Chain A
Amino acid sequence: ETGVTQTPRHLVMGMTNKKSLKCEQHLGHNAMYWYKQSAKKPLELMFVYSLEERVENNSVPSRFSPECPNSSHLFLHLHTLQPEDSALYLCASSQKAYYEQYFGPGTRLTVT
């Protein structure tokens, strides 16, 4: 595997389910990010991790819970989501501050 990978690519879940999104980067980077991309809205930064420590949490509801066990892996745990949480969730990584970010293909999440 190369670059940034995300699994699953598609996920349909009910509002009472618990699921997790996984991201893995194979680039040796030190920072990882979660973004939410909704239709007709700008890309929203959700969380930033640097060297496994969360450095930013942009007022994201607690039903989204990130986890970064090491610098190569990032998870987004989901529980009791709402239909408006349906979106494309993108993971990215970067070498250091202000450097370009490399994105995974995204997970298309649908909440029913």
Chain B
Amino acid sequence: AQSVTQLDSHVSVSEGTPVLLRCNYSSSYSPSLFWYVQHPNKGLQLLLKYTSAATLVKGINGFEAEFKKSETSFHLTKPSAHMSDAAEYFCVGGNTGFQKLVFGTGTRLLVSP
């Protein structure tokens, strides 16, 4: 069965410093993995997706993630945080079930001036 674990419930950074949001997955099969972002009182927006084409995936707003099979990780990074990046981020895995995605519990990113 597929599971996704986000290792930090909160991450605090200063504006202009790098961002690292950690995600580990477990799957019996080669997974599909996604990162979504949710700003307050908004729906989830797809940041990027991994579907086995390339291990380094670039997304919107300067975010990227690297799929590391040996570490079963799919961490989200950004070189320089902006205030507008403050939001909740969800790591999501594709399950073996029909059209079912498995959501992590979310990481709240706080960005200070």
Contacts and interface: CB of A to CB of B under 8 A. Distances in A.
Interface of A: 4, 6, 31, 33, 42-43, 45, 48, 50, 55-56, 88, 90, 92, 94, 96-106, 108
A105 B99 contact: no
B43 A101 contact: no
B41 A98 contact: no
A4 B32 contact: no
Given A98-B32, A100-B49, A48 B98 contact: yes
A97 B99 contact: yes
The A contact surface, by secondary structure, is strand
B103 interface: yes
Interface in B2-52: 32, 34, 36, 41-46, 49, 51
Contacts of A99: 32
Contacts of A106: 41-43
Nearest to A30: B99
Contacts of B98: 48, 50, 55-56, 97
